[in-house]
Amino acid sequence: MTRTTWLRGGSLACAALLVVLVSPSSFSQDPTVIRVTAERFTFTPSHIKVKRGTIVELRLRSEDTNHGFRIVGSGFNAIIPKRGRGEATLIFRADTPGRYTFECSKMCGAGHTFMRGTITVGE
Ligand code: CUA
């Protein structure tokens, strides 16, 4: 059911979207996979904590309609495909300690603006 398509500057019109900010082969460690589910109007989990230096692979999927996933201030913004249409994947290195807000970036209904959460990068 879930297909992962590598995205190399090609079309976004595929069932699943994989965004790689840094090529995984350049990492010396395996990514820590964190699965996040979007469903009107929450992300689960909505608070994510990782240690500094962790390579994080976020796998984003929806239990209903299309949602968006934007990490405020990062320039990262993806569409989470609707249920059954795959997932969006984001790989990044959690280099800078702090608390980062993510939010739904696609209008999905009355509670759209409440769909948010945080990623905390600890020392
Ligand atoms: Cu989910 Cu907007």
pLDDT in tens, 8-18: 333 232 223 33
Q: Decide: residue 115, CB within 10 A, 0-12 exposed, 13-18 middle, 19+ buried.
A: buried
Pocket of ligand 1 (CB under 6 A): 38, 67-68, 104, 106-108, 112, 115
Domains detected in the chain: 3-122 (2.60.40.420)
Ligand 1 nearest atom to the CA of residue 66, by list position: 1
Of 1 and 70, more confident? 70
Listed residue (64, 57, 72, 71) closest to 19, CA to CA? 57
Q: Is the pLDDT of residue 30 over 80?
A: yes
The protein residue whose alpha carbon is closest to atom 1 in ligand 1 is: 67
| pTM beyond 0.85 | no
In the structure, what pLDDT confidence band is assigned to residue 41 with cuts at 50, 70 and 90?
A: very high
pLDDT digits (tens, 9 = 90+) for 46-78: 999 999 888 899 999 999 999 999 998 887 899
Q: Residue 38 C-alpha to ligand 1 middle, in angstroms?
A: 8
In the structure, what pLDDT confidence band is assigned to residue 91 with cuts at 50, 70 and 90?
A: confident
